[in-house]
Amino acid sequence: MATGSYTDIRDLQEFPGFHDAELTGIEHDPESRTLELRFRRVGGKVEVLRFSGLIRQRLIDFAGQNVASRLLISPRYAFSLAEVRNWLQWMNSRDDAKGAAISEQNGEDCVRDLVAGHRVLFVLEPSCGAEMAVLCESLSLKG
């Protein structure tokens, strides 16, 4: 994993824009429950997002070019109950099997954890290539 100075996204005044940023690297360490995503933003600046305390994640369609349309990150993005339930189910699914539906109670518990800052939900909506969702305990940006 990359070393350096990371800032929890909850402590950032401004979060950089990732529209049209290209996902260029992924490093996953199951033993330490961490994940790093490296993005090259428009203009060439490289940003690294570090997910700690991974709970679940799913990545599909990582290809030769992986361009982000937008990143949805709690608490900066207020996920609705329906969105939370949908993304949790999607993370539990696979190409050949849809995950079990998430109960309303489990969805509400997750929403409460997101609002309280106990968990972070991250969604990469693609322009092309990789689509991803991550549920974790914290998310930091390398500065």
Domain ranges of the chain: 6-142
pLDDT of residue 95: 84
pLDDT of residue 33 exceeding 70, the answer is yes
pTM: 0.93
Least confident of 1-15, 33-47, 113-127: 1-15
- Secondary structure letter of residue 100 according to DSSP: P
Q: What's the CA gap between 44 and 136, in Å, rounded?
A: 28
pLDDT of residue 44 exceeding 80, the answer is yes
Structure tokens at 88: 């949790």
pLDDT band at 50 (very low <50, low <70, confident <90, very high): very high
Q: What is the mean pLDDT of the chain?
A: 93
Share of the chain above pLDDT 70, in %: 97
DSSP for 76-94, please give it.
TS---HHHHHHHHHHHT-B
Mean pLDDT of 62-80: 95
3-state DSSP call for residue 28?
Answer: strand
